Amino acid sequence: MRQFGAVPTVGARVRIRKYRTGGGRSGNVARRALSVLRTSIPYVSTVENRGPALGGVDGETVGEARMRGPVQLRAQDRAVTAADYELLARQAAPAAARVRCLPAGDGSDAGGVRLLVVPAAVPDETGRLPFEDLVPDDTMLATIAADLDARRPIGARLVVEPPFYQGVTVVARLKPRADISAVRLKALAEEALYHYLDPIHGGPDEQGWPFGRPVHSGEVFGVLQRLPGVEVVEEVRMFPADPLTGRRGDEVTRIELDRHALVFSHRHQIRVEER
């Protein structure tokens, strides 16, 4: 171990003249969002962040501390219940946006624990989540697994992995009111769909799409019909899609999700009729 500087004596008063802090989640920006230098650098004319800035976490609020406290006292740093696993995983990797603990399965997998991890992702310049940013990196998965491995009961098998993402493509045709342009309404409709069918911030309560919850074409119809500027939703069609290959399945009115799955918006297509 190497030490730099003097070690304060016991009871000494230490004054820190300045320090740096991060911006929390507000510092998480999309790729190509940073393009201005705060100070000039010789021979550098332009700058650009090639990758998104991730990992910023806001400080714990009073409400969050009130929720965490009882669970922390009950768990005592031991992973026994599903809530224990989820709490300890969030502490090990604060940059994870969502953590879900489920039984690993039946038969030979009975008694195991499956922990699904969704990393915090930043929308790109179009406001959409890049699919590759929703897959946690090996470092995050290994950090969570190593921390829980020391806290799980002896004999409990643990699997830490990303969830399965079910792509959903919506094809809709809208009739606008007289006070809105077709271009504006198309942008509003796409924004609403990408926000509602979002694994991190979407869903009926805007807390992230619930794991395993199916998608109904009727609720998609309601999301579009509630938009300001929509006179009539003429048509709504929904298709399951593979977010990796882009392949689209047959039209359905309901898309089932297994308990390990979340939705992912994949290339919605909106057509607004000209008045």
Residues of the chain with pLDDT under 50: none
CA distance 198 to 190: 12
Residue 193, pLDDT score: 96
Q: CA triplet 272, 207, 196: central angle to 5 degrees?
A: 10
pLDDT in tens, 20-45: 667 777 788 878 888 888 888 888 88
119: number of Cβ within 10 Å: 20
pTM of this prediction? 0.78
Amino acid in the structure at residue 144: I
Residue 108, pLDDT score: 55
Residue 110, pLDDT score: 65
CA distance 70 to 77: 12
CA distance 243 to 267: 9
Q: Domain limits of the chain?
A: 65-161, 164-272
- In CATH terms, the fold of domain 65-161 is GMP Synthetase; Chain A, domain 3 (3.30.300)
Residue 137, pLDDT score: 92
Residue 199, pLDDT score: 96
Residue 115, pLDDT score: 95
Residue 101, pLDDT score: 95
